[in-house]
Structure 1
Amino acid sequence: MYRRFLFLIFLFINLVSFAQDKNIAFKVVPLGVKGGIDESNLSAYMLAPVNSNNYVCLDAGTLHAGIEKAIGNKVFAVPAEVVLRKYIKGYLISHSHLDHLSGLIINSPDDTTKNIYAFSDCIETFKTHYFTWKSWANFADEGEAPQLKKYHYKVLNPGVEIPVENTEMWVKAFPLSHSNLTSTAFLVRNNDNYMLYLGDTGPDEIEKSRKIELLWQGIAPLIKEKKLKAIMIEVSFPDEQPDKTLFGHLTPHWLMKELNELEKLSGQGSLKGFNIVITHVKPPQSSIERIKKQLAAENELQLNLIYPQQGKMLNF
């Protein structure tokens, strides 16, 4: 009788685990999680369907150092060059600031042929400032001659879903306001499951914009239908940062204000337990700790706040 009881418990645990695994649609490998001055840990997140190694990289501030961290954490059982060359199938670049693409530039000599997806103004900066023979080498197939033709630019149009080539995923881009630049939110789909990644963005009220509002209108139905697995969104500064020096970024106060607007569209209580991944937190460590405390104190929506760590896989 006792053995049968233990067997039933074991079976129950495994059934629960299996059910939970079936609900997991995506895996995220953070290669870099911070904003600011640490060049070894800047915004970059590998994203793939849970049963695939066909990743797209959401921004590419840090690549090699983050891949090595992931290997050290047993996320990958292959050498770093295999992850870079074979697992990463393309790059979704939110905007042209160096902390979101410098890893791509530095690693380009060792990379393989793949696409760079971005809005046209970001791609223009690649052509005129980064992949030029005065600053580096032109590894793309457009811009200054000679063109080494390793990367192909894929211009994204707002609200138009296109396939991420050599993966099972599709992407739709939404513009964001980031001070003097247009940044990007990427809505990535695999079958009927979605992930949303936001590049740097300021709050609509400060940016004199409706871009976050329009993004929320686009994704609210997915939250209602429980198809959106998580939102990855920045909080760069603690609440003590004056609004006039946000430079197109969010604080805990402004994030919660924007998420309250999202809940109005998706329905009361719809965000309870919903996964919010906090990205682009800027050093020093004292600021990071303040941000965590302030977000916890202001979390009236009862969100599941997640703080990614470099090289440690997340599942959604």
Structure 2
Amino acid sequence: MSYKRTGCICLVLWLLTLPAIAQTTFTVVPLGVRGGGDESNLSCYLVAAAGTSAYIGLDAGTVRAGLVKAVAAQTFRAPVEAILRDSIRGYCLSHPHLDHVAGLLLNAPDDARKPLYGLPGCLETLQKSYFNWQAWPNFGPGGAAPALGKYQFQPLAPGPETSLAGTDLFVRVFPLSHGPGYESAAFLVRHHSSYLLYLGDTGADALEKSGRLRALWQVVAPLVQRGQLKALFIEASYPNEQPENQLFGHLTPRLLLQELDVLAQLAGPKALRGLPVVVTHSKPAADNEALIQRQLGAANGLGVRFVFPQQGQRLGF
């Protein structure tokens, strides 16, 4: 066989591998990436099965302002109102702090009927503290009359997987510790045999004394080993200089890397190499984000691929 023909065959075989390499399972559009202080850019990540326009919001701190930026960047081609009402099919809420639900609340009058998923305590707080005709009109399904019922509450229990209505996605919930006595949640989202893991606010096991992160890592480790976990979203709110008694149930780069070390011990020392780790919830203080990025990069012995999301810019995993 001639060199020329052999070269052509090799080129064809190489080209045939490109779709598999470039293929993405999840499309993610960050509508907000920060953790408090900037009301126009608070935690909210839209997730859809790649190739579809049916999104679930992972938290909802900022919605409309993020959609405006996404449309301006041509991440979306539809009008903001259409995306809000039709493309976002529901929200998974990690906990009811305002920097994770304010966008949902403020845009409720213009929204369509859709489900809200979360731990029972989160949904109960949403109903009692916000949808009560005092803090805000009652767009929930119960509580103070009249209950407008725009949102249907879908409580999630740890363990079983739940279908996310109107999408090709499924979810499992895991409780997290966000300071003494306060519960947050992580969502393990599945499409076919691929997974994306999103953690709401969380403290480190070493400080929270709950063991909840280790329990989560034990479930996720086999997915990492098999290459099924496509991305991990986890917070780093403060730089390492923040005193531990002023973390308020959050992580620093040092504590985040300690937790990834635990995952690596369970999955294998090289299993995390190249894994996209999307860093969320950094506080918007001066130089805070840049310092967090430098500290994570300098100590990244596991070889994970840190991703620092930008509001309105599409990500693919």
The TM-score, its normalising length taken from structure 1, stands at: 0.95
| Equivalent pair of 1:236/1:280 in contact (CA under 8 Å) | yes
Distance (Å, rounded) in 2 between the aligned partners of 1:12 and 1:306: 31
Q: Which residue of 1 aligns with 2:261?
A: 260
Task: Kindly provide the amino acid, as one letter, of the partner of residue 238 in structure 1.
Answer: P
Distance (Å, rounded) in 1 between the aligned partners of 2:46 and 2:280: 14
Distance (Å, rounded) in 2 between the aligned partners of 1:10 and 1:42: 46
Distance (Å, rounded) in 2 between the aligned partners of 1:84 and 1:20: 32
Following superposition, the deviation at residue 209 of structure 1 comes to 1.1
Q: Does 1:89 align with 2:102?
A: no
Following superposition, the deviation at residue 12 of structure 1 comes to 7.6
Q: Does 1:106 align with 2:101?
A: no
Distance (Å, rounded) in 2 between the aligned partners of 1:12 and 1:129: 60
Q: Which residue of 1 aligns with 2:239?
A: 238
Q: 1:8 to 1:36 in 2, by over 3 A?
A: farther
Q: Which residue of 1 aligns with 2:73?
A: 73
| Equivalent pair of 2:71/2:77 in contact (CA under 8 Å) | yes
Q: Which residue of 2 aligns with 1:270?
A: 271
Distance (Å, rounded) in 1 between the aligned partners of 2:9 and 2:148: 61
Query: Residue by residue, what CA displacement relative to the aligned partner does 1:199-229 show, whole Å, maximum 9, x if unpaired?
Result: 0000001011100000000111111111110
Distance (Å, rounded) in 2 between the aligned partners of 1:7 and 1:224: 35
Distance (Å, rounded) in 2 between the aligned partners of 1:144 and 1:267: 52
Task: Kindly provide the amino acid, as one letter, of the partner of residue 268 in structure 1.
Answer: P
Following superposition, the deviation at residue 171 of structure 1 comes to 0.4
Q: Which residue of 1 aligns with 2:225?
A: 224
Structure 1, gaps ≥5 residues long = none
| Equivalent pair of 2:269/2:302 in contact (CA under 8 Å) | no
Following superposition, the deviation at residue 19 of structure 1 comes to 2.5
Task: Kindly provide the amino acid, as one letter, of the partner of residue 311 in structure 2.
Answer: Q
The sequence identity of aligned pairs, in percent, is 46
Following superposition, the deviation at residue 106 of structure 1 comes to 0.1
In the TM superposition, 1:1-316 aligns within 5 A as 15=16, 17-22=18-23, 24-179=24-179, 180-316=181-317
**SS of alignment partner, residue 271 of structure 1:** coil
Task: Kindly provide the amino acid, as one letter, of the partner of residue 206 in structure 1.
Answer: L
Following superposition, the deviation at residue 21 of structure 1 comes to 3.0
Following superposition, the deviation at residue 281 of structure 1 comes to 0.7
Following superposition, the deviation at residue 283 of structure 1 comes to 1.3
Distance (Å, rounded) in 1 between the aligned partners of 2:48 and 2:203: 27
| Equivalent pair of 1:95/1:181 in contact (CA under 8 Å) | no
Root-mean-square deviation (CA), in Å? 1.9
| Equivalent pair of 1:193/1:228 in contact (CA under 8 Å) | yes
Distance (Å, rounded) in 1 between the aligned partners of 2:95 and 2:135: 19
Distance (Å, rounded) in 1 between the aligned partners of 2:8 and 2:87: 40
**SS of alignment partner, residue 124 of structure 1:** helix
**SS of alignment partner, residue 174 of structure 1:** strand
Task: Kindly provide the amino acid, as one letter, of the partner of residue 55 in structure 2.
Answer: Y
| Equivalent pair of 2:62/2:102 in contact (CA under 8 Å) | yes
Task: Kindly provide the amino acid, as one letter, of the partner of residue 138 in structure 1.
Answer: N
Distance (Å, rounded) in 2 between the aligned partners of 1:135 and 1:314: 35
Distance (Å, rounded) in 2 between the aligned partners of 1:10 and 1:150: 55
Query: Residue by residue, what CA displacement relative to the aligned partner does 1:70-91 show, whole Å, maximum 9, x if unpaired?
Result: 1111111110011100000010
Following superposition, the deviation at residue 176 of structure 1 comes to 0.3
**SS of alignment partner, residue 287 of structure 2:** helix
**SS of alignment partner, residue 125 of structure 2:** helix
Structure 2, gaps ≥5 residues long = none
| Equivalent pair of 1:58/1:93 in contact (CA under 8 Å) | yes
Q: 1:133 to 1:204 in 2, by over 3 A?
A: same
**SS of alignment partner, residue 117 of structure 1:** strand
The TM-score, its normalising length taken from structure 2, stands at: 0.95
Task: Kindly provide the amino acid, as one letter, of the partner of residue 62 in structure 2.
Answer: T
Following superposition, the deviation at residue 17 of structure 1 comes to 3.9
